[in-house]
Structure 1
């Protein structure tokens, strides 16, 4: 363990310079003008993995002609009893607007105050790349010529565009990606002084509702109060989406969900949570939500329904006295383990249909099939291996691991697809901090934490090989 830490320290400078080279590639998957850059990013990573010794490295094309390829790499252990581990991450990044808010160029990696600033530094190139240093440290410290586990990497190129083709890619290559566990390095930790591992992410289904009334805008003085107003009727319907205790009123919405255990609640309560500070980050002044749950429990472990936007009629300067012809709303449902996006979509469509008043025509549309939630049991052997690896990396003496606490994340990603298609549990090894500015200007990552991530990865492969996954 001491050798691993020393190797990581000794090779940090070269690691950071290589990462900066990768970060200079503007691999923005949502920008059609950057398709070639996403491809260049994939090719850069593939070349790096080959140079590091991976005997199998391939660039996989995605469907739909998107031109946003993924990278697959494999390094067999050579031990017939070794478990197989797949590491997931992504090499595409978010757009960088507004540029004027960046202190330095988003694709000009810059070190300041122990942090590396660049788009993708934390989300997710930095967290993908620490695995390369961790693997080198693992091999150097153990004297092995191959990892202690059968190691596979799948690094996609369209995560920031919603991973539209990723499930199909997983199904197409399910035999090549077969594994005992998936390690996701696309999440964060609670704080630099409070290392944590994420154990679950919520799912998501998004919808748009259209209410149509008159065939065109009409004079409110001549017709108002005598015909249905689509905006008024839509607001009345959506106001019924929650009851007095802020529970979602869709029939069956909570059926079958995995409820919080007392252990879960005790572990959440151990985190040094400052609600006032959290409210400040949320740009709010008071917490609200489903009765009977703490703030962390609401955002991590309870399903929600949010109205993301409502629009229609006159919204320009000055008055315009009309009964508008149309009203629209965008909504999103965050889901927890035990819920299926398709079931929630059907329930919402039926719920709307039952409440459409006379004189109004309604339509409901969904943005794709949604994202399923995922949850790793606290007693899963792979999660315990991640906890020990992180505990050693963050301990003053790696031989005496420190306690690792657990979080969940309120957001959503492709983790459930990995879990379902590959039939393997998902565990999370992430080192990013809440203020790293994902998707915003001046995205950054703590340089020391990148090295802690590499160190934890080096410990993890030996731990998984020693303790197995049973």
Structure 2
């Protein structure tokens, strides 16, 4: 094999593989669980470890940024080329809670390598995927002979993603001048499978609410008063029943206003994926599909907005009967949003719709949580094509297909505040078990992630000038 840049990259990564994995294991031993107060110091220690490692990697700037909650890490390495584009990489260093008794076959914070996989909490979500950027960057420098990246490279590694990123947008707004970029690369995502490399092009947003319905001032006798006063549990049930029409479309007026429709090309690309609906149903522990008419299962969970009932309750819940009209009832709803939808407009539309469902004699209150905005990058965006080309090089010329994420994350905050397109680069696969016992990362895919980034910075430097 000739000594091409691709071969230099692959050789460098292989030669430094053992040291890279040792360093990753050291980071994974830090139980940076942001959701548990007793691990607050561990989250801080994780940030300090990463900042120190980035400085040793060569970043001339590596800082710990405090927030009202857990700290983030920021690093910057200027290219030195006056016309080089600026790229910001996003990830997170906090992890989900984990304990051996949850069903792990090894200590979740003592990494083990078995059968080509590293098992540990955070191995895939998200420390492993953040950390492959350090090896990829060093391979990029080795292959090009550069002393600095081909792009102005910045990293922002959050410490509260697993707790809902409550302070992330405020941090981005406060530090927008330091974070300014021409493109954002999010490495908190994954691929379709080990044999089907893919690039995610978007994530849905979310708005959620809790609605409380109040009727009588206390539970009252259903024989004496039932049928003559409004029942808040009945109202809650009717609101839930009215949420969708016969075609499973959300019945809230204005809900679909502004939705970016799927193109024929996108639908064809989704259809090309080797999707096994029966296997998907087994993963979902479900026994049949149901959703908006006219769309496939993948289209429903990736590219269409939805409404779900997350909880409903009211009245007597104990054993036996209790013949009452309950004083109150409640419903919890969530709405997954797609590109073109504004969470604030959705909240107003839902508020108005609920008010129209409530009869006289019922008082109601609706409280929304903090929303997350959707984001989407067009398939023909030049920066996205850089990611696709670089991943194809790492995967020996294989075709890179496209997916979206049905879930939600803070990527849209970066797009909205910084005004930069958001790209997704991840190598995790569904079997990695994010948030589950025995979370793992496939080592060969982890190194493919490093190889992709080694090619990416030069490609983006050329593409985005």
Deviations 1:296-353 (A, max 9, x none): 0000000000000111222233333322111111110000000011000010011011
> Structure 1 residue runs of 4+, over 4 Å off?
none
Deviations 1:54-79 (A, max 9, x none): 101110011x3x2x100000001111
1 CA distance for matches of 2:109 and 2:324? 49
Aligned counterpart in structure 2 of residue 250 of structure 1, from 246, 249, 252: 252
2 CA distance for matches of 1:364 and 1:466? 50
2:432 is paired with a residue whose SS is: coil
| 1:431-446 correspondence to structure 2 within 5 Å | 431-446=427-442
Q: Any stretches of 5+ residues in structure 1 without a counterpart? A: 396-400
Q: Any stretches of 5+ residues in structure 2 without a counterpart? A: 1-5
2 CA distance for matches of 1:156 and 1:464? 24
1 CA distance for matches of 2:341 and 2:100? 37
Alignment CA distance shift 1:228-1:288 (3 Å):
same
Question: What is the aligned partner in structure 1 of residue 384 from structure 2?
Answer: 383
Aligned counterpart in structure 2 of residue 315 of structure 1, from 309, 317, 320: 317
1:408 is paired with a residue whose SS is: strand
Alignment CA distance shift 1:220-1:113 (3 Å):
farther
| 1:185-200 correspondence to structure 2 within 5 Å | 185-200=187-202
1 CA distance for matches of 2:318 and 2:131? 48
1 CA distance for matches of 2:99 and 2:337? 30
Shift of the alpha carbon at 1:219? 2.6
2 CA distance for matches of 1:100 and 1:200? 32
1:283 is paired with a residue whose SS is: coil
The answer to whether the 8 Å contact 1:190/1:407 transfers is yes
1 CA distance for matches of 2:214 and 2:153? 55
TM-score, reference length from structure 2: 0.97
2 CA distance for matches of 1:91 and 1:280? 31
Shift of the alpha carbon at 1:467? 2.2
The answer to whether the 8 Å contact 1:190/1:433 transfers is yes
The answer to whether the 8 Å contact 2:391/2:400 transfers is yes
The answer to whether the 8 Å contact 1:99/1:441 transfers is no
The answer to whether the 8 Å contact 1:217/1:325 transfers is yes
The answer to whether the 8 Å contact 1:70/1:157 transfers is yes
| 1:209-228 correspondence to structure 2 within 5 Å | 209-228=211-230
Shift of the alpha carbon at 1:98? 7.8
1 CA distance for matches of 2:30 and 2:222? 55
Question: What is the aligned partner in structure 2 of residue 413 from structure 1?
Answer: 409
Shift of the alpha carbon at 1:23? 0.6
| 1:280-291 correspondence to structure 2 within 5 Å | 280-291=282-293
1 CA distance for matches of 2:22 and 2:315? 54
The answer to whether the 8 Å contact 2:100/2:107 transfers is no
1 CA distance for matches of 2:363 and 2:10? 65
2 CA distance for matches of 1:467 and 1:351? 47
| 1:36-51 correspondence to structure 2 within 5 Å | 36-51=41-56
2 CA distance for matches of 1:215 and 1:23? 53
Question: What is the aligned partner in structure 2 of residue 402 from structure 1?
Answer: 398
1:358 is paired with a residue whose SS is: coil
1 CA distance for matches of 2:310 and 2:98? 23
2 CA distance for matches of 1:85 and 1:134? 15
1:435 is paired with a residue whose SS is: helix
The answer to whether the 8 Å contact 2:100/2:108 transfers is no
Alignment CA distance shift 1:97-1:325 (3 Å):
farther
1 CA distance for matches of 2:350 and 2:419? 29
Question: What is the aligned partner in structure 1 of residue 459 from structure 2?
Answer: 463
Deviations 1:412-469 (A, max 9, x none): 0011100011110000100011121111211111111100000001010111112226
TM-score, reference length from structure 1: 0.96
Are residues 1:123 and 2:128 paired?
Answer: no
Question: What is the aligned partner in structure 1 of residue 35 from structure 2?
Answer: 30
Shift of the alpha carbon at 1:224? 2.7
Question: What is the aligned partner in structure 1 of residue 85 from structure 2?
Answer: 83
Shift of the alpha carbon at 1:97? 5.6
Aligned counterpart in structure 2 of residue 73 of structure 1, from 72, 75, 90: 75
Aligned counterpart in structure 2 of residue 132 of structure 1, from 124, 131, 134: 134
Question: What is the aligned partner in structure 1 of residue 3 from structure 2?
Answer: none
The answer to whether the 8 Å contact 2:99/2:108 transfers is no
Aligned counterpart in structure 1 of residue 7 of structure 2, from 2, 7, 12: 2
2:35 is paired with a residue whose SS is: coil
Deviates more, 1:439-448 or 1:310-319: 310-319
Shift of the alpha carbon at 1:263? 0.5
Question: What is the aligned partner in structure 2 of residue 201 from structure 1?
Answer: 203
Question: What is the aligned partner in structure 2 of residue 337 from structure 1?
Answer: 339
Question: What is the aligned partner in structure 2 of residue 422 from structure 1?
Answer: 418
1:237 is paired with a residue whose SS is: helix
1:260 is paired with a residue whose SS is: coil
